[in-house]
Structure 1
Amino acid sequence: IFDFESMNKTLFYGLYTRTNSYFEGGELQAEEGLPQGREREILEGYRGRIADAVIDEPFVLPVHGGQAETRKYQREALKLFTDAGFTFKGGLLLDPSGKQFEIEILGNDPTDERVGIPMVEYLRPLGIRATIRIVDSAQYKNRIDNFDFDMSMISTAQSLSPGNEQREYWSSQTADKPGGRNYSGIKDPVIDDLVERIIAAPDRAELVALTRALDRVLLNGYYAIPMWYNPKAWFSWWRKLQFPPTQPLYTGVDLYSLWIDTEIEKAMEGSR
């Protein structure tokens, strides 16, 4: 029910791109479509312990193109809730005890409200009472560190060479660790195993394949709502400043790689 397309258009002038991976924008990202090659071999080793759809179906996020699609996704969401024991009655989504489903969206910046309000509106037709709470940085950190939240907007930075830090993000041993970064509380032996294999990967090719497999398992677990990113770096510079056309992935322009073109500099000085 998360309508990225409308939010991107109304809030961000269409400038952002939907995030489709926990390792977005590089070779570590699970490939589009079905898993192939070594990634598929790795996933086949977990068949029976992961959903068949992880291997046999491509992972595709819902795309909202209008009211028809939105209503379709709302119906699908309601079916998932009713299958889980909830009841939609009188415009409210009720749990088995008859209490309305409620969720709090936690933020620490007033601008979070701008993004949170559409989420509240997306949940309303499902009978869910969603609220937004903006707290100061100290309170926010305390609540996040102690997993005292329902939903929050959190950015997770990744390495181009995943290693030990993946335990902190996804492993069972950090799911209940105060101050840890396993914000979703993931406890999955398959994910634990993939993380350990990533850490012990013997070469780059195996590291890439294992990370792609982990990415696909995480995406199919729906632990988070992938949001957005800007695929471009915006900046302005003097004409005399030159830089290599190929720049580091993720980090944007490396300012230490710039140099001054003395010929252009002289021409600029002569035009003053």
Structure 2
Amino acid sequence: DYWARDLPIQKGLYNYDEIRIDYYRDANAMFEAFKKGLYEVNPEGDPAQWNKGYDFPALNQGRVVKETFNTGTPKGMSGFVFNTRRPIFKDIAVRRALAKLFDFGWVNTNLYYDAFDRAAGYFNDSELSSIGIPASDREKELLAPYPDAVVAEVMDGTYRPASSDSSGADRTVLREALSELQGAGYELKDGALVNTASGKPLAFEILVTTKEDERLALAYQRTLARIGIQASIRNVDASQYQLRRQTFDFDMIRNSWGASLSPGNEQSFRWSQEAADQDGSFNYPGASQPAIDAMIEAMLAARTRDEFVAAVRALDRVLVSGFYVVPLFYLPDQWMARWTTVEHPEQTSINGAKLETWWRVPE
């Protein structure tokens, strides 16, 4: 007898009389439980599992179905993060060259069944993204006081992360990156890339805490080694990883920043100059640019949707131009598997599948 159950804003929502949530300490045990019907809805994010793991009797008999849902919300940025507080990553030319050396094509084909799309900006696959779109007059106006904050190809919408032939050893990309690093003051010496002035090798540590991140780091490490860059991988437990991440005690980590259609104050905690020096903030790369602060301020001050979109796109352009991460990838759609004892509306929201709109099929 919920008082608002018949109001228009609640129509079709919260149809269950009872919801039970079971917790599993092991992902394999959890999936086996789903296959046996011990729980009925399984969101899936593992491409290998989605492509190979759903061959079991209940699915073959039609009692379990796999479904893909489109979403209209931004796909955020997932990437290997350069800690620009470290001297080795202070030079944007070095970061830009290193970002080219992640072979997305090889990783996507060999590890993920070509399931992912390449991340490019921080609001991918939405109206807030600047990727593929020339800057509007309003964006140019916002960015005018900061003429060096956005590189030309990001401003005109032609920027894309480097693509390869998916071989894991694209010589064209390797030559381009090596040439850029030589322009930044490095040279190949006895098979190692070293700083011409100091003689120190271009070497850094990738900090990971999961097997998946370690696998990605190993793929990146192999490509880096082809031009003499020494990337070591250190796998630490979750508590140590969290401490080092909170205190910015790392060279490189993997991180994902989620996104919505209404970004707001949280962008300051992620990207502002103040957050760069604040332990525990989400400004892991140490981005510290007046242009970023100004774009966040413009976003928060916007009073129309057009002003808001322009400010967010301008922020996106500044972040992309800073080459703070090696862009990785995102799932373009939402994957869900369910037993047919549960149903959902034919049309889903812009956010994709929402369990609060689903219901149990009457027996």
TM-score interval (norm. to shorter): 0.7 to 0.9
Alignment deviations for residues 11-38 of structure 1 (CA, whole Å, 9 cap, x no partner): 0011111112201232211141422353
Judging changes above 3 Å, is the alpha-carbon distance between structure 1 residues 164 and 68 closer, same or farther for their aligned structure 2 residues?
A: closer
Name the residue aligned to 1:93: 193
Contact 1:43 1:55 in 2 (8 A): no
Structure 1: runs of 5 or more not aligned: none
Q: Secondary structure at the match of 1:233?
A: strand
Judging changes above 3 Å, is the alpha-carbon distance between structure 1 residues 179 and 240 closer, same or farther for their aligned structure 2 residues?
A: closer
Judging changes above 3 Å, is the alpha-carbon distance between structure 1 residues 219 and 70 closer, same or farther for their aligned structure 2 residues?
A: same
Is 2:297 the partner of 1:228?
no
Q: Secondary structure at the match of 1:235?
A: strand
Paired AA for residue 216 in structure 2? V
Name the residue aligned to 2:165: 65
Q: After superposition, where does 1:1-272 map in structure 2 within 5 Å?
A: 1-44=101-144, 46-47=146-147, 50-56=150-156, 58-66=158-166, 70-95=170-195, 96-237=197-338, 238=340, 241-249=343-351, 252-259=352-359, 265=362
RMSD: 2.2
Identity %: 38
TM-score norm. by structure 2 comes to 0.67
How far residue 138 of structure 1 moved from its aligned partner, in angstroms, is 0.8
Contact 1:117 1:132 in 2 (8 A): yes
How far residue 236 of structure 1 moved from its aligned partner, in angstroms, is 2.4
How far residue 197 of structure 1 moved from its aligned partner, in angstroms, is 1.1
Judging changes above 3 Å, is the alpha-carbon distance between structure 1 residues 142 and 167 closer, same or farther for their aligned structure 2 residues?
A: same
CA distance in structure 2 between the aligned counterparts of 1:109 and 1:166, rounded to whole angstroms: 26
Alignment deviations for residues 96-124 of structure 1 (CA, whole Å, 9 cap, x no partner): 22121111111111232111111110100
Higher helix residue share: 1
Contact 2:131 2:160 in 1 (8 A): no
CA distance in structure 2 between the aligned counterparts of 1:51 and 1:109, rounded to whole angstroms: 34
CA distance in structure 2 between the aligned counterparts of 1:31 and 1:78, rounded to whole angstroms: 26
Relative contact order higher in (CA < 8 Å, ≥ 6 apart): 2
How far residue 204 of structure 1 moved from its aligned partner, in angstroms, is 2.2
Alignment deviations for residues 135-167 of structure 1 (CA, whole Å, 9 cap, x no partner): 011100111111111111111112321111111
Contact 2:143 2:291 in 1 (8 A): no
CA distance in structure 1 between the aligned counterparts of 2:314 and 2:127, rounded to whole angstroms: 12
Q: Secondary structure at the match of 1:106?
A: strand
Paired AA for residue 242 in structure 1? H
Judging changes above 3 Å, is the alpha-carbon distance between structure 1 residues 149 and 24 closer, same or farther for their aligned structure 2 residues?
A: same
Aligned length: 261
